[in-house]
Structure 1
């Protein structure tokens, strides 16, 4: 099999299950109604948080994972013999399964176990890769899959980002006092931290032309602040993605920001973007609708953003923005919309960017 013409790679189809619904039409309908609030979750006696949870399903943790993966991948179309590469991206992997079903194996097993569980549910016959780089996992999986197609290895690849329910991750964020007590408020005047979210998202990448072309991307790791955002890394990832795509800052029509709701990190991100772009293009944040879906964020937010643009929906804000940031969030899709930059920042110093082009614009 060979890569695309001139090495072009396209986002051919998406699938999504998140707090908004188990498929894209349901998610867009929920957005139109103002979204879905997070659910209170008990972590221990007297200790809890809120999470943007997936809609309830029957069955144990493993069966829910398998059912959701099959459903989300089915949204991307028929895969035939399923011999393309599969990239499974997650930060928590199968920790939930260990908690709820196999406590004796907690933190045991193999790093590839979760990807194997997903691949088995999909009856996948091709090579299977695990990508677990914290919150940048899914975006890094997209970058890896794009390189594989671009350089002639395959005509297609599937990226699956998955972040399923578990108490361990939420307890860790709670212990670091990083969680907000209610809803997420990215760039909000009253923001108090992030709110976690569950999601499973599928991205079908292809060498065959379609509406959305992947034009560039970058991953920059700066471990000086392993739990926060580094301004120099934000600048570096944006500039590297622009350079790979052959675009300048003035060519970007929309930025999907990280904006997790951190009082400090949101400010660092905005100031770094201003240094790169000067006059900022329109900004959109999706975490007030999805929550922070951690390792799945790159796939879930890309899928939802594309769905919003194609479906004519848009996330509402519903809270006051921090006036000291000097920014606004777009209340609708920009009239001029061709080149979109998506940013994800995560633990471990990971900073990743992806550029996509609307070929129909």
Structure 2
């Protein structure tokens, strides 16, 4: 079995069009969400990508090329490509006069992304709601571990569209102002736009993907299920050959839901005693849905390598009995990343800093 390493990251999000800009914005205290109109009378805050010229597909292609370029030279571009998204081409449909789809097939969005890159290798679509990008990483890692590929590229993409905000707003899941994960005054999540790229390979690099898990429990199709949180964490640890005490940092889901945030904390406390340091990134870039696993993984690695950290500028819910880290822990070798999504998806990934 081959080992799997994260050898390159790329990110465009509300903080900036590349990692240096994103980290600089974090050091300045982050950015505020932008009010986005769903109808003439309804607006919701969204952490939007920086404004670009061109139509929706032109912006998609330009952003994808920019983000993948941040991961290094791919040469002939024959490696497997995994494209993860929950909204896919909904934004394209909204921006065309006759609400056309790109071509009528689930794979069409991934093919447009591949076409923007002149990608010659096999192309896969992963669309499992908010766990899409993390599941794409797990699938790509399995290919590399099994010797079926030496490299793989994972792209998570969520671009502008009104449909997503309208749907989450109709379910009364959105905060009216800003995201406050684990906050005392949290009122819901704030959506975010992002395109992220992750370069995985079998050759050694600083960051190793040691294990992961995807657990589906549909008893609460729009929320977090405690037993699934237990299962995903324990399965990811088991595949990595680790115990709970080996984890030095957890990147939590923490979208700002009054109920789901509390369920997540209590479930983590049952697996980890004591809890390791926690970090949440959604107050900085919003909940980027299908791209979240890639966008938050890329941003977290960027924060650790670039000595930047998200600012928590709101009071936490004291009843949760937790704190969010104000800086990266001094001892940092194993990181657990958790993502929870609609449909009962719960996914975890363990990342090892081989330089620690």
- C-alpha RMSD of the superposition: 0.9
2:42 counterpart of 1:47: yes
SS in 2 for 1:360: coil
2:114 counterpart of 1:119: yes
- Cα distance in 2 for residues equivalent to 1:200 and 1:46: 29
- Cα distance in 1 for residues equivalent to 2:207 and 2:273: 26
Q: CA deviation at 1:319?
A: 0.3
Question: Contact conserved, 1:61 with 1:101, CA < 8 A, in 2?
Answer: no
In structure 2, the residue matched to 1:21 is: 16
User: Aligned to 1:300, which of 295, 304, 313?
Assistant: 295
Offset from partner CA, 1:308-346 (integer Å, 9 cap, x none): 000010110110000000000000000000000000000
User: Aligned to 1:285, which of 271, 280, 291?
Assistant: 280
SS in 1 for 2:131: helix
Structure 1 pair 262–359 and aligned structure 2 pair: CA distance change class (3 A):
same
SS in 1 for 2:172: coil
- Cα distance in 2 for residues equivalent to 1:82 and 1:101: 31
In structure 2, the residue matched to 1:190 is: 185
Structure 1 pair 347–103 and aligned structure 2 pair: CA distance change class (3 A):
farther
2:204 counterpart of 1:216: no
In structure 2, the residue matched to 1:178 is: 173
2:355 counterpart of 1:360: yes
User: Aligned to 1:134, which of 129, 137, 141?
Assistant: 129
SS in 2 for 1:103: coil
SS in 2 for 1:244: helix
- Cα distance in 2 for residues equivalent to 1:122 and 1:107: 17
In structure 1, the residue matched to 2:141 is: 146
Q: CA deviation at 1:106?
A: 5.2
User: Aligned to 1:94, which of 89, 97, 103?
Assistant: 89
SS in 1 for 2:253: coil
List, as ranges, runs of 4+ consecutive aligned residues in structure 1 with deviation greater than 6 Å: none
TM-score, normalized by length of structure 1? 0.98
Structure 1 pair 48–155 and aligned structure 2 pair: CA distance change class (3 A):
same
Q: CA deviation at 1:45?
A: 2.0
- Cα distance in 2 for residues equivalent to 1:39 and 1:282: 30
In structure 2, the residue matched to 1:3 is: none
Question: Contact conserved, 1:95 with 1:107, CA < 8 A, in 2?
Answer: no
Structure 1 pair 273–20 and aligned structure 2 pair: CA distance change class (3 A):
same
- Cα distance in 1 for residues equivalent to 2:206 and 2:325: 22
- Cα distance in 1 for residues equivalent to 2:59 and 2:302: 24
Query: How many residues matched?
Result: 356
2:223 counterpart of 1:228: yes
2:146 counterpart of 1:159: no
- Cα distance in 2 for residues equivalent to 1:356 and 1:349: 23
- Cα distance in 1 for residues equivalent to 2:332 and 2:106: 40
- Cα distance in 1 for residues equivalent to 2:273 and 2:95: 49
